[in-house]
Amino acid sequence: MNPAPFLDIRKASKDFGAGPVLDGVDLAVTRGEFISLLGPSGCGKTTLLRIIAGLASADGGSVTLDGQDISRLPPHRRDVGVVFQNYALFPHLTVAENIAFGLRAKGAPAAEISATVERFLALIHMTAFADRSVKALSGGQQQRVAVARALATKPKLLLLDEPFSALDRKLRETMQIDLRRLLRELGTTSIFVTHDQDEALIMSDRIAVMNRGRIEQLDTPEAIYARPATPFALEFVGLSTRIAGTVTEYDPAGTIMVETPLGRLRSRGRFEVGSPVLLGIRPERIRFGPAGGENVVAPVLADIVFQGARIQAHFASPDDRPVMIETSGALPAGLAAGSPVTISFAVEDTIAYPLAAA
Amino acid sequence: MIRLLPRDRMIWLAAPALVYLAFFYAMPLVYLLGRSVIGPNGPTLSLFANFFADDYNWRVIGNTLRIALLVTLVSLVIGYPVALALARARGLAQVMLLTAIILPLSVGVVVKAFAWQIVLRRDGAIAQLLVATGIWDEPQRLLFTEPGLVIGAANVFLPFMILPIYSVVKLIDPRLSEAGATLGASPFYRFRKIILPLTMPGLISGMAFVFSLSVSMFVIPSLLMGDRFQTLATLTGRSFLLMRNEALGSATAVVLLVLAVSIVVGSTILSRRIGRAA
């Protein structure tokens, strides 16, 4: 028997009047876990976050935290901390006063408040800024204060709503690692909303890929990257080469033959002969030349994109779906745009998804 | 070299208003001030000495300040929640609320004052309501009483309380209150520690507006209280219009002006200080 999950969301649904924003979402989170809700804007991830915090009401479903049904509790009785996208620091208070706010609201003794504030100021390396106005801080500093403020009350659960989106790229990466380390040290169970797949891959224990009000896949970053469960997960997380085709052969061992505009390709799965499928391959699993594996095609090279450590080769595609290789090594000599190049990939790396008939 | 002209040229945009005020506001005031300190035998403060020696005039000052303070408080208590609601309202609701607040300004004070005479009468709507709810045992007349005056004046000046507060509230990020809630703060605590301090500048300017309008109101007390009850403004009016005593009128006008200026300047300094601290 599994122990009951620390946070258990059942059938959460929400409709603002223009179709469901959340379509019966289930999510179970273990104590101490860091989960990302990853998806494009409008997928319902922020709505789910606000429902967990009690800032929005669900039309249906339940939220259970640490064995207590909190679905009907107002936000200030839920013990759920939130780091807002714009941080929402109190502009009339100093850094220390912002961090102390939650403890003061809960009527903690003065000695405990000042000890906690000092500890968190040290944790976010901002002891020297204690008496500064929060308006005078940089974006990165504001974000750290917002995190410290949310954690100072020792919430059972911390929710983070795109807390890095306002920061520049360089700063973002170090802050992601710092935040992850801090939360791990404190053992805080966290749910992190983001549309940035890199962020989700770097930080998460597990990722929930969300699309159109549903969780399409909930798994570790490695598993989601290696075996995306749906075409959406394939497309949204990481880069992919995608080729549409029709199943022409199926054998009971689970191997299928797919007729595509680029040629006949093999994959695995249970599909009826004649059904349309989408084949997905991670670009770094594709090799130049016929040596890489069992699926060999020769599309026309369109473009070479240099990205520093990695190089991408883009090929002309029969439909608008991308066909590309990504390699960290050198490109073979003599590549010229406009001429066909032989590339190959393993059957194991070729993932087939059912495709709605066009 | 000392620069005599301000560095920021935008300041010149205030020039037309300054010229206008100099001609139509400052000059008459200087004339008035002159009348109050220059007697037949040269400069003198005897007018003010006489004015402050008279107990009746102290009662008038007391009336003026008491009524203005009460009107300000009533407007604040009624207006503050409206300003919060107005800032939160969206779409049609907001348009209708704003119209309801601003449109009454287009109805002249005289018309309104006559309307209140109907409402505040012994058999008026308020008296009937208070009797019906059992607060009063028998109907009483509110007209020509101080509570009647306060209710009426607060009604006229309410928009001047609501609008400055509204303009501040609508700039407050609604996430601040949400953040307070997720930190465990009850709605009341959030109001006290987040909303109230952040709306303080609007609150102070609303109070300054209503207070300075109330100390100087003339038509409303004349119509709702009559001649028995004098404020600095009505006394000034009577001195000039009825008693033809320009010296007394100048003195009361100057006392009134000093009161109003100290309130406006004081509140401006206060709100700037709060604004800086915030």
Q: Where are the domains of chain B?
A: 28-277
Q: Which amino acid is at B117?
A: Q
Of B173, B197, B278, the CB nearest to A88: B173
- Name the average pLDDT for chain B: 88
Alpha carbon distance A152, A192 (integer Å):
18
Residues above pLDDT 90, as percent of chain B = 43
pLDDT band of residue B275 (cuts 50, 70, 90) is low
pLDDT band of residue B184 (cuts 50, 70, 90) is very high
* Cβ-defined contact of A150 to B184 (cutoff 8 Å): no
Q: What is the separation, in whole angstroms, between the first and last Cα of chain B?
A: 37
Q: According to the model, what pLDDT value does residue B1 have?
A: 47
Q: Which residue of A has its CA nearest to B179?
A: A88
Per-residue tokens: A126: 């901002």
The answer to whether A101 faces chain B, any CB pair under 8 Å, is yes
User: Would the pLDDT of B10 be above 80?
Assistant: yes
Residue B210: strand, helix, or coil: helix
Q: Where are the domains of chain A?
A: 7-228, 239-354
Query: Residue B19: enclosing H or E segment and its boundaries?
Result: helix B15-21
Q: According to the model, what pLDDT value does residue B246 have?
A: 83
Q: Per residue in B206-225, pLDDT tens? A: 999 999 999 999 988 988 88
Chain B neighbors of A104, CB-CB under 8 A: 193
pLDDT band of residue B7 (cuts 50, 70, 90) is low
Alpha carbon distance A111, B53 (integer Å):
58
Per-residue tokens: B91: 């779409």
Q: Which residue of B has its CA nearest to A99?
A: B183
* Cβ-defined contact of A76 to B184 (cutoff 8 Å): yes
Residue with tokens 């996430």: B175
Fill in the DSSP letter of residue A300: B
Stretches where chain A sits below pLDDT 50 are 1, 358
Question: For B28-277, CATH number?
Answer: 1.10.3720.10
Q: Residue A14's beta-bridge partner residues?
A: A22
Q: Could you tell me which residues come within 8 angstroms of residue A247 by beta carbon, excluding any fewer than 6 positions away?
A: A256, A257, A258, A259, A271, A272, A273, A274, A275, A276, A277
Nearest CA to B145 out of B236, B226, B60, B214 is that of B226
Q: According to the model, what pLDDT value does residue B277 have?
A: 56
How far A74 CA lies from chain B's nearest CA (Å)? Answer: 8
Q: Report ipTM (2 d.p.).
A: 0.85
Q: Which residue of B has its CA nearest to A133?
A: B278
Chain B neighbors of A92, CB-CB under 8 A: 197-198, 277-278
Chain B neighbors of A53, CB-CB under 8 A: 182
Fill in the DSSP letter of residue A340: B
Of B184, B187, B197, the CB nearest to A106: B184
Q: According to the model, what pLDDT value does residue A191 have?
A: 96
Question: For A7-228, CATH number?
Answer: 3.40.50.300
Of A54, A55, A149, the CB nearest to B183: A149
Q: Per residue in B117-154, pLDDT tens? A: 888 888 888 888 888 898 888 888 888 889 889 998 99
Q: According to the model, what pLDDT value does residue A358 have?
A: 46
Find which of B171, B178, B183, B203 to mutate to test the A interface (most A CBs within 10 Å of its CB).
Answer: B183
